[in-house]
């Protein structure tokens, strides 16, 4: 039987790559290769001396990346939190741009065997990197009830987190929770109300996936690394898909783009106030109605772009 083919529509494709303001002979990093939509467009805009390094921890994404035979391209099978180590291993110092397309990719959701979606009954895995780490089933089998509730509340913004955690602990005492179908049924019996059009398990699945893959921690660790690597004029473009991610990105970029603040009555000239090391480029960008119509998963996407100034790092 031939392997299933999963399609992926890259969200905010041209907007994100436009935001990088590609220099033909520059060095760029795609922190989240996915299925290569952004990477391929970046390569099309690079000259012969340009270079692109992509990271991804999903073995299927890495396999796809290895079909690109362009000598200007290199794939690193690591989470993007290994940003500095990955570039150091390649002998790369400063870069001209960094792109991050956060969250989960369409092939990961649509491949029921991966365990990311409540639409399929499959082993409860949820790891983006299936070669290492704890599965969602293994975590649910051993985690304390308070920890489960905290994860579902903090990462899923689920108001019924305590009730769901209690139901999961009770259920696992009778039978191990090994499949997405079991998890979906337990949550459905516990969450009686939900926003129109949203499955009761949506927030719980999101929370466990984020926790298992350390998505927010990796984002918080990687943003400072990417920032330090940017040369003057280098761009950072980040696409977030939910409020928890975007909050981290917004806080980081706004803080780095804020000049030192002094009391208003001090006799200091504006020219003497240190410039911020980062400046925000335009307003946050959302997918157009046309793109959302063609790809509903683009609805929640928000792109933020910032540029490294010549100011010293603080």
User: Within 10 Å of residue 44's Cβ, how many Cβ atoms?
Assistant: 10
**Binding residue per annotation — 38?**
yes
SS (H, E, C) 155-204: HHCCCCHHHHHHHHHHHHCCCCCCEHHHHHHHHHHHCCCCCCCCCCCHHH
Q: Is 37 part of any known ligand binding site?
A: yes
Counting DSSP H helices and E strands in the chain, the numbers are 13, 8
Q: Is 36 annotated as a binding residue?
A: yes
The answer to whether 56 is annotated as binding is yes
Angstrom distance (rounded) from CA 292 to CA 192: 29
Coil vs helix vs strand at 284: coil
Sorted by sequence, the CB contacts under 8 Å of residue 282 that are 6+ apart come out as 305
Specify whether the CB–CB gap between 172 and 106 falls below 8 A: no
Q: At what angle do helices 161-172 and 145-156 cross, to 10 degrees?
A: 140
Q: Among 304, 299, 295, which Cα is nearest to 287's?
A: 299
| Cβ contact 239:302 at 8 Å | yes
313 backbone dihedrals φ, ψ, rounded to 5°: -65, 145
Beta bridge partners of 278: 308
Look up residue 176 and give its two tokens: 């191990």
User: What are the backbone dihedrals phi and psi of residue 247, each rounded to the nearest 5 degrees, phi first?
Assistant: -60, -40
Cite the annotated binding site by residue number: 36-38, 56, 80, 101, 108
Cite the annotated binding site for S-adenosyl-L-methionine by residue number: 36-38, 56, 80, 101, 108
């Amino acid at each position: 039987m031939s392997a299933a083919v999963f399609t992926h529509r890259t969200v905010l494709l041209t907007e994100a790559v436009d935001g990088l303001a590609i220099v033909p002979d520059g060095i760029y990093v795609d922190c989240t290769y996915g299925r290569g939509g952004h990477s391929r467009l970046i390569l099309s805009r690079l000259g012969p001396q340009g270079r692109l390094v992509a990271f991804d921890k999903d073995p299927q994404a890495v396999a796809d990346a290895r079909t690109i035979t362009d000598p200007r391209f290199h794939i690193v099978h690591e989470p993007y939190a290994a940003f500095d180590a990955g570039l150091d291993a390649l002998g790369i110092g400063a870069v001209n741009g960094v792109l991050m397309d956060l969250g989960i990719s369409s092939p990961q959701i649509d491949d029921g065997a991966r365990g990311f979606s409540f639409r399929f009954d499959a082993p409860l895995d949820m790891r983006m990197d299936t070669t290492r780490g704890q599965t969602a089933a293994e975590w649910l089998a051993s985690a304390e009830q308070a920890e489960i509730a905290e994860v579902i509340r903090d990462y899923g913004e689920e108001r019924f987190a305590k009730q769901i955690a209690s139901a999961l602990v009770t259920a696992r005492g009778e039978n191990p929770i090994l499949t997405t179908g079991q998890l979906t049924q337990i949550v459905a019996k516990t969450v009686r109300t939900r926003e129109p059009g949203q499955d009761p398990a949506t927030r719980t699945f999101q929370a466990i996936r984020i926790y298992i893959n350390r998505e927010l921690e990796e984002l918080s660790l990687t943003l400072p690394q990417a920032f330090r690597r940017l040369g003057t004029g280098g761009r950072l473009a980040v696409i977030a898909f939910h409020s928890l991610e975007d909050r981290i990105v917004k806080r980081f970029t706004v803080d780095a783009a804020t000049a030192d603040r002094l009391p208003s009555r001090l006799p200091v000239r504006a020219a003497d106030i240190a410039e911020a090391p980062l400046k925000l480029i335009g307003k946050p960008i959302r997918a157009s109605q046309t793109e959302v119509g063609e790809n509903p998963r683009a609805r929640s996407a928000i792109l933020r772009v910032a540029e490294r100034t010549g100011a010293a790092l603080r």
